[in-house]
Amino acid sequence: MSMLQLLADGGAGGGTTPVAGATVTGHLNRLSGLSGRTATYAANVWAGTTGRTLRSAVNAKAGTTGLGVAGALNVIAGTSGLSAIDALSRIT
């Protein structure tokens, strides 16, 4: 299982009901106004950063440091405890 798949399902192999076809990469492309880019690239565009890791870019966007991807995305979404994909689905 890839890291993005683990992020999408909350890291534990279940517990969420993702929208059919929705991916972390797809949501980040949507939020950054891009299409077909990697999650890391799209996260950097969305955050207004360059060359950062996915984790670092979403922390920059959230105004936080040291959180995991899902944690930073929950801050942005105004939620807590959600998987990365569930938090992303709530961000417009």
27-77: pLDDT as tens digits: 999 999 999 999 999 999 999 999 999 999 999 999 999 999 999 999 999
Residues constituting the chain: 92
Q: Categorize the per-residue pLDDT at 84 as very low, low, confident or very high, splitting at 50, 70 and 90.
A: very high
pTM: 0.79
Burial class (CB in 10 A: 0-12, 13-18, 19+), 86: buried
Distance, in Å, from the CA atom of 92 to the CA atom of 74, rounded to the nearest integer, reads: 13
- Measured in degrees and rounded to the nearest 5, phi and psi for residue 29 equal -65, -40
Distance, in Å, from the CA atom of 65 to the CA atom of 72, rounded to the nearest integer, reads: 8
- Measured in degrees and rounded to the nearest 5, phi and psi for residue 13 equal 75, 25
Per-residue pLDDT for 6 more than 50?
A: no
